[in-house]
A and B are shown apart, each in its own frame.
Chain A
Amino acid sequence: MSEISLSLNGQLIQVPANASLLSMLEDQQITLDSVALVRAGEVVPKSLWALTLCEAGDVIELFGVVAGG
């Protein structure tokens, strides 16, 4: 199966060409219930992770909630 490369929090990673955001995060062993996801400068809501395919060259950022004040 062909692979594509994308940037996850500044690290270049390889994922299967048909990987969804969700399967990519699972492959990377990301704790799913602790992060928000931004792709190409836009937030991708969690309910869309399984429906959104990774694309070659994607720039993806993950971050947690900051709640202090």
Chain B
Amino acid sequence: MEDLWTQVLLLTASTFRLATPLMLAAMAGLFAERSGIVDIGLEGKMLGAAFAAAAAAAMTGSAWVGLVTAMGVSFALAMLHGFACITHKGDHVVSGVAINITVAGLGPVLADAWFRQAGRVPITGESMRFRSIELPFAQVLADVPILGPIYANVISGHNILVYMAALSVPLTAWVVYKTRFGLRLRAVGENPSAVDTAGISVTAMRFRALMITGLLCGIAGAYLSIAQGAGFTRDMSAGKGFLALAALIFGKWRPVPVLFACLLFAFADAIQARLQGVELPLIGEVPTQAIQALPYLLTILLLAGFVGRAVAPKAIGQPYVKER
């Protein structure tokens, strides 16, 4: 019993850790897509940021410099996407895919040129990563029944980016629903003409949304390489950007439901890690590959069957042209 309780706590903590990049990327995507920009380039931005974070941290020895660099690179990629989709009214999917492919190739090439480690960027120093933070009183309270271990094992002991991700959801919800920016954001994704005739620039609104997207995606990428992991490896984002996009659709572009979708995917991932090499009753040992596919299978099943009709922002993916 004691053992099962510990297992549950560990599983929950690991779910939070795995959900962090998804949450950040999904909130990033939420800003873009609510403004009417399809962002299939979440994956590429995250991967680019992961590389930038590792490279900058390895060169300067500072995780914080790594984080800022990551946000900078992801921001630049978001602006590139905006330049293609907003300024030049290009196809959003094509631009996103282009960013994904470019980054996937460029990262390892630059890593190889700069660090000569077969396309990897290793992180060695303590200060180059975000370490776990022990929240106040975690040790003292650990003995309090039930709540104590939850606080000590699940709430406390993550690195700062996990807490940032947790904060990003209520913050996003507040911005989207309670502020002027949020009202305009939601409007520009639904009916850009209404925004234009209300005297607000559609272009500026969409660029602003993409700026936030870039910054949030940057944090997500930095988390992969200098917080959760140590160092950059080829394709290390492993489809998390797409999972975030799926969570965004599953959560119908609303911050709180999207959060739960991220947690669900992360939970599947956490289970997957636990199940590897474990003998299951009746089934026996399931091949690792099959277990690893679990979160992705779940995504397909959920999106195909259980979501119902996801109603996207009406103007999503359409370049805004004044009708003539």
Chains A and B form a bound pair: no
